[in-house]
């Protein structure tokens, strides 16, 4: 390994740098565009006269704030529901043995396999029939297809890593089952919970298919709202970019704040011992 | 302060019967050892008493009260787990204090601090109180686990192989400390182990468990000198007892064993002869502990001839294995003995210490002398 080390290091770093540029450039470009006037959109690249016009238009009506809050409401709601349902489910899969257990676990995971387009037509008809079409609750419920598998799959690994003996010890110490769950289990799965919740949040926040086709005018999220900027004669790239930048802000901020937990959370569940 | 009793307890896991018809009576303040090989069902038994598992059949009582349906947190038992089961996110102090902060056994904070420090001092871990379990050695973790049990004032202490995962030297040391602690415990204790030395040195009484069934319950002397079955005899003693099949022959008016092709040298002691005759049958399994077989390289006609098979020096002593009549016999020898394979050697068996088992069932028939006889009262 001797003298190839500095070269390998340079190569590694340049590869990472290249990938970082590749991944971050669209975001950077989007930020750039959001400060450009429509008239300067196609004839300038990096040098232009920056303007806040796009942002001003965005907030001039209260509409966009409304879309943003809708997004917050359904995303947070979906993740909370997934946690409420998924944590006990993960515990059951980790601790108990029952007929069809692995099949059930695989079914949960399989929710992520199917492309959303595949299920959208039957879902549309069902939602219309039971009146969940264009409701926040309807969206929260369908979002479980996205967020639940993460919670269950990641937390199951975490619960399996906690030796049952620890729970037994706490019972013998004088704690009821419920207190054991709160005092012992929950703190130990916290990194996993944070990571899974954040991942779920990101996917649900960005969701386009379900919000487009299962919600109409009543619940409009930021993803769907960006369609508005495609009008009959032109595409208002500047305003679209501004809208998307604002929309992306929460997830970027959350991820940055919790990145330490995220890495720990995603890797720890996997390594045994 | 409690009598614990199990009556005909059976535990199954799916189709697997782990414990079958187990009945044990443990007296108040007794140090009771449950001994058995791996997989015998010892931990399961302890878990049943703690309330972590529920038996399929049978009744478990504390002080005469049936506790089958009582949750673990209500049973007032303290348990030391084989793998310590320390809470990884709490400090040593918090681990030991944990039972005293539970809803069931709560104490005021000041008292908690005193108790934890008292116990930590006894166990010599008072300098580790702010560490996390991941920052401790195995021996230290074991003491924390012990400390968590000792802060309690339970009906019974349950200990699941607490010394098993310690290195040999530490184990010997802790065994001595346990013996001392045991005298001060003043509480019924049930101690599980697969190490016969721990069982013999610590126990008031031992229950020998094999494949989910009780083979024998008795004092260490009873277990060692009057093992109820060949399994019990073989489990206690290193090197293992030599159990050989022999025919019973009548010679010159007395009973002899035809052992290893030799029927001249093994006279059966009087009382044993009576028992063997009552028992019937003309073959028997005779057990000789390695220390009860004397050897010499120059023999006389009263000794049995054999050849050296192998010699293993083990520091202070050595295991000498000899071969006679196609069978291998283990003896204890001095470590500096000069023994070569195939060397002729002469053996003298101490018939007064021999233990006789039924050749069909392997159950104890008789032995000479009064050793291990249960004293009345």
B51 to A171: CB separation less than 8 angstroms, yes or no: yes
Residue A177 host element (H or E): helix A177-180
Identify from A99, A169, A175 which residue to disrupt to test chain B contact, counting B C-beta atoms within 10 A and taking the largest count. A169
In sequence order, the β-bridge partners of residue B333 are B318
Per-residue model confidence as pLDDT tens digits over A199-245: 899 999 988 888 888 887 778 888 888 777 777 777 788 888 888 88
The answer as to whether B307 is a domain residue is yes
Where does a domain end: B213, B235, B257? B235
Per-residue model confidence as pLDDT tens digits over A153-180: 999 999 998 999 999 999 999 999 999 9
Cβ contacts of A179 on chain B, cutoff 8 Å: 102-103
Q: Which residues of A touch B (CB under 8 A)?
A: 163, 165-166, 168-176, 179, 184, 187-188
Compute the 3-state secondary structure of chain A and give helix, strand, coil in percent, each to the nearest 5: 75, 0, 20
Whether residues B134 and B283 fall in one domain? no
- The Cα of B105 is separated from the nearest Cα of chain A by a number of Å equal to 6
Where does a domain end: B235, B252, B274? B235
Q: Domain A58-268's class?
A: mainly alpha
> What is the chain A residue with the closest CA to B98?
A173
The answer as to whether B374 is a domain residue is no
In the block, tokens 């515990």 appear at A91
In sequence order, the β-bridge partners of residue B285 are B245, B357
DSSP symbol at A185: I
How far is it, in rounded angstroms, from Cα B92 to Cα B78?
17
DSSP symbol at B134: G
Which domain does B14 fall in, by range?
4-235
Lowest mean pLDDT, pick from A37-46, B31-40, B73-82, B185-194? A37-46
How far is it, in rounded angstroms, from Cα B271 to Cα B365?
11
The mean pLDDT value of chain A amounts to 86
CB nearest to A172's CB, from B79, B88, B89: B79
The answer as to whether B265 is a domain residue is yes
**A226 vs A123, more confident:** A123
Whether residues B170 and B188 fall in one domain? yes
Whether residues B82 and B213 fall in one domain? yes
How far is it, in rounded angstroms, from Cα B174 to Cα A120?
67
In the block, tokens 């071969």 appear at B323
CB nearest to A174's CB, from B73, B82, B87: B73
Whether residues B216 and B328 fall in one domain? no
Residue B275 burial class via C-beta count within 10 angstroms: exposed 0-12, middle 13-18, buried 19 and up? middle
Q: How confident is residue B1, by pLDDT bands cut at 50, 70 and 90?
A: low
The answer to whether B231 contacts chain A (CB < 8 Å) is no
The whole-model pTM stands at 0.83
The answer to whether B71 contacts chain A (CB < 8 Å) is yes
B73 to A187: CB separation less than 8 angstroms, yes or no: no
Q: What is the reported pLDDT for B375?
A: 58
The answer as to whether B166 is a domain residue is yes
Where does a domain end: B201, B235, B269? B235
- The Cα of A95 is separated from the nearest Cα of chain B by a number of Å equal to 14
CA distances from B341 to A41, A209, B196, B320, B345 (A): 98, 84, 31, 10, 10
- The Cα of B104 is separated from the nearest Cα of chain A by a number of Å equal to 5
Whether residues B167 and B246 fall in one domain? no
Whether residues B46 and B24 fall in one domain? yes
- The Cα of A125 is separated from the nearest Cα of chain B by a number of Å equal to 45
In the block, tokens 């959350």 appear at A254
How far is it, in rounded angstroms, from Cα B264 to Cα B53?
56
In the block, tokens 């899974």 appear at A196
Token pair, residue A44, equals: 């300038």
Query: Residue ranges per domain, chain A?
Result: 58-268
> Across the beta sheet with B344-349, what order do the strands follow?
B293-296, B344-349, B304-314, B317-324, B327-334
Whether residues B206 and B304 fall in one domain? no
Whether residues B88 and B50 fall in one domain? yes
Q: How confident is residue A266, by pLDDT bands cut at 50, 70 and 90?
A: low
Lowest mean pLDDT, pick from A62-66, B20-24, B222-226, B227-231? A62-66
The answer to whether B50 contacts chain A (CB < 8 Å) is yes
Q: CATH code at B284?
A: 2.40.50.140
Per-residue model confidence as pLDDT tens digits over B78-122: 999 999 999 999 999 999 999 999 988 888 999 999 999 999 998
**Dihedral sign computed on CA atoms, order B38, B41, B44, B46:** negative
ipTM for the assembly: 0.83
Asked if B366 contacts B276 with a C-beta cutoff of 8 angstroms, the reply is: yes
Q: How many domains does chain B have?
A: 2
What are the two backbone dihedrals, phi and then psi, of residue B291, each rounded to the nearest 5 degrees?
-75, -15
Whether residues B272 and B139 fall in one domain? no
How far is it, in rounded angstroms, from Cα B53 to Cα B64?
20
Q: What is the reported pLDDT for A219?
A: 80
Whether residues B178 and B317 fall in one domain? no
CA distances from B26 to B32, B156, B187 (A): 7, 10, 12
Whether residues B58 and B205 fall in one domain? yes
Q: How confident is residue B271, by pLDDT bands cut at 50, 70 and 90?
A: confident
Residue B204 burial class via C-beta count within 10 angstroms: exposed 0-12, middle 13-18, buried 19 and up? middle
How far is it, in rounded angstroms, from Cα A164 to Cα A181?
12
Count CB neighbours of B88 within 10 A: 14
Whether residues B224 and B360 fall in one domain? no
How far is it, in rounded angstroms, from Cα B42 to Cα B25?
16
Residue A194 host element (H or E): helix A186-205
């Amino acid at each position: 390994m001797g003298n190839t080390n500095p070269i390998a290091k340079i190569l590694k770093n340049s590869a990472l740098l290249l990938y970082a540029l590749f991944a971050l450039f669209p975001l950077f470009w989007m930020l750039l565009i959001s400060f450009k006037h429509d008239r300067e959109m196609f004839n300038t690249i990096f040098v232009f006269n920056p303007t806040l016009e796009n942002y001003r238009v965005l907030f001039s009506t209260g509409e966009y704030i409304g879309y943003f809050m809708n997004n917050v409401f359904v995303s947070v709601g979906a993740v909370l529901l997934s946690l409420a349902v998924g944590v006990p489910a993960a515990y059951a899969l980790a601790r108990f043995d029952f007929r069809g257990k692995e099949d059930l676990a695989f079914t949960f995971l399989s929710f992520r396999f199917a492309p959303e387009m595949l299920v959208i037509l039957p879902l549309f008809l069902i939602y219309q029939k039971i009146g969940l079409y264009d409701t926040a609750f309807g969206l929260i419920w369908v979002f479980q297809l996205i967020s639940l598998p993460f919670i269950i799959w990641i937390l199951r690994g975490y619960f399996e890593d906690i030796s049952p003996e620890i729970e037994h010890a706490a019972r013998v110490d004088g704690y009821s089952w419920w207190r054991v769950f709160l005092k012992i289990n929950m703190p130990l799965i916290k990194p996993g919970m944070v990571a899974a919740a954040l991942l779920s949040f990101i996917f649900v926040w960005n969701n386009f298919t379900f919000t487009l086709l299962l919600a109409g005018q009543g619940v409009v999220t930021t993803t769907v709202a960006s369609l508005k900027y495609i009008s009959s004669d032109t595409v208002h790239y500047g305003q679209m970019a501004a809208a998307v930048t604002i929309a992306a802000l929460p997830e970027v901020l959350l991820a940055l704040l919790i990145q330490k937990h995220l890495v720990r959370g995603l890797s720890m569940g996997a390594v045994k011992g | 302060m409690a009598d614990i009793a199990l009556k005909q307890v059976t535990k199954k896991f799916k189709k697997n019967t782990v414990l079958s018809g187990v009945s044990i009576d443990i007296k108040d303040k007794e140090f009771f050892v449950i001994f058995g090989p791996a997989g015998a069902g010892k931990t399961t038994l302890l878990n049943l008493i703690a309330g972590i598992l529920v038996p399929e059949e049978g009744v478990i009582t504390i002080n005469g009260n049936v506790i089958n349906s009582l949750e673990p947190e209500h049973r007032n038992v303290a348990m030391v787990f084989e793998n310590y089961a320390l809470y990884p996110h709490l400090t040593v102090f918090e681990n030991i204090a944990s039972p005293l902060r539970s809803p069931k056994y709560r104490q005021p904070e000041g008292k908690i601090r005193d108790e934890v420090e008292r116990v930590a001092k006894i166990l010599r871990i008072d300098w580790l109180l702010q560490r996390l379990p991941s920052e401790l050695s195995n021996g230290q973790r074991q003491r924390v686990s012990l400390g968590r049990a000792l802060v309690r004032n339970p009906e019974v202490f349950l200990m699941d192989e607490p010394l098993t995962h310690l290195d040999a030297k530490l184990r010997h040391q802790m065994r001595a400390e346990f013996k001392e602690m045991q005298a001060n415990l003043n509480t019924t204790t049930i101690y599980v182990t697969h190490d016969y030395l721990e069982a013999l040195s610590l126990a008031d009484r031992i229950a020998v468990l094999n494949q989910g069934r009780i083979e024998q319950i008795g004092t260490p002397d009873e277990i060692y000198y009057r093992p109820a079955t060949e399994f019990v005899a073989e489990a206690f003693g290193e090197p293992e007892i030599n159990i050989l099949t022999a025919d019973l022959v009548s010679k010159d008016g007395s009973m002899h064993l035809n052992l290893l092709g030799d029927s001249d040298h093994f006279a059966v002691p009087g009382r044993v002869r009576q028992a063997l005759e009552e028992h019937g049958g003309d073959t028997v399994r005779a057990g000789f502990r390695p220390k009860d077989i004397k050897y010499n390289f120059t023999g006389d006609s009263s000794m049995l001839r054999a050849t050296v098979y192998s010699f293993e020096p083990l520091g202070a002593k050595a295991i000498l294995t000899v071969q006679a009549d196609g069978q291998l016999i283990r003896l204890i020898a001095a470590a500096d003995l000069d023994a070569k394979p195939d060397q002729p050697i002469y053996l003298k068996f101490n018939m007064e210490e021999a233990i006789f088992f039924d050749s069909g069932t392997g159950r104890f028939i008789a032995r000479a002398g009064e050793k291990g006889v249960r004293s009345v009262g």
